[in-house]
Structure 1
Amino acid sequence: MNKSELIDHIAKQADLSKAAAGRSLDAMIGAIRTTLKKGGSVTLVGFGTFSVGKRAARTGRNPRTGATIKIKAAKLPKFRPGKGLKDALN
């Protein structure tokens, strides 16, 4: 399912226009992005939790040359599924 298919589904299920469903989806994604940028987490009970993980700086190798390179520390988005989502899949 891509974004336009998701918008169609939301519009049908919530009895909204496609434009309103698209704006609501964009607002939700924006709210999650803003919260994660601030270092917070977003919990949707029954669905899951979006949070920020940290990856430490490390050394690696360039596969072409074999030279050692430094890889910077990074923040990564993480998703931990909730019980309701896990139960729906099994």
Structure 2
Amino acid sequence: MAAKPLTKTQLVAALAEGAELDKKTAAATLDALTSIVTKEVTDGGAVTLPGIGKIYCRERPERMVRNPATGEQIKKDADKVVKVTIAKALKDSVNG
């Protein structure tokens, strides 16, 4: 079974250690990165994190879906979804 994902506190600690920063600066950096990615993707753009992947927003058209409990067909309005395309380097390192 996979290990538990890193919490924000653990990620900040690892970032601080890896970049030789204090935890306060590392937390501010992580918050700024989150803010930048959120703003860019919300505005319809995309963000590429080198070695990790590309985060972007995609619009889905209006479509018919089925309620699994009743089997009834209902119309779902158009919406937007956030997608992540993983970088080849990360895929290759995971697959050995």
Common fold, TM-score beyond 0.5? yes
Q: Which residue of 1 aligns with 2:3?
A: none
Distance 1:67 1:4, change over 3 A: same
Percentage identity across aligned positions?
A: 38
Equivalent of 2:61, from 53, 56, 62? 56
Of residues 75-84 and 56-65 in structure 1, the stretch that sits farther from structure 2 once superposed is 56-65
Q: How many residues align?
A: 90
Cα shift at 1:34: 0.5
5+ long unaligned stretches in structure 1: none
Cα shift at 1:14: 1.1
Which aligned segments of 4 or more residues in structure 1 are displaced greater than 6 angstroms? none
Equivalent of 2:74, from 60, 69, 72? 69
The normalised TM-score by structure 1 is 0.86
Cα shift at 1:65: 4.3
Structure 2: which amino acid aligns with 1:48?
G
Cα shift at 1:11: 1.0
Correspondences of 1:42-53 after superposition (within 5 Å): 42-53=47-58
In 1, distance between residues paired with 2:86 and 2:69? 38
The normalised TM-score by structure 2 is 0.81
Deviations 1:52-72 (A, max 9, x none): 112211122334444433211
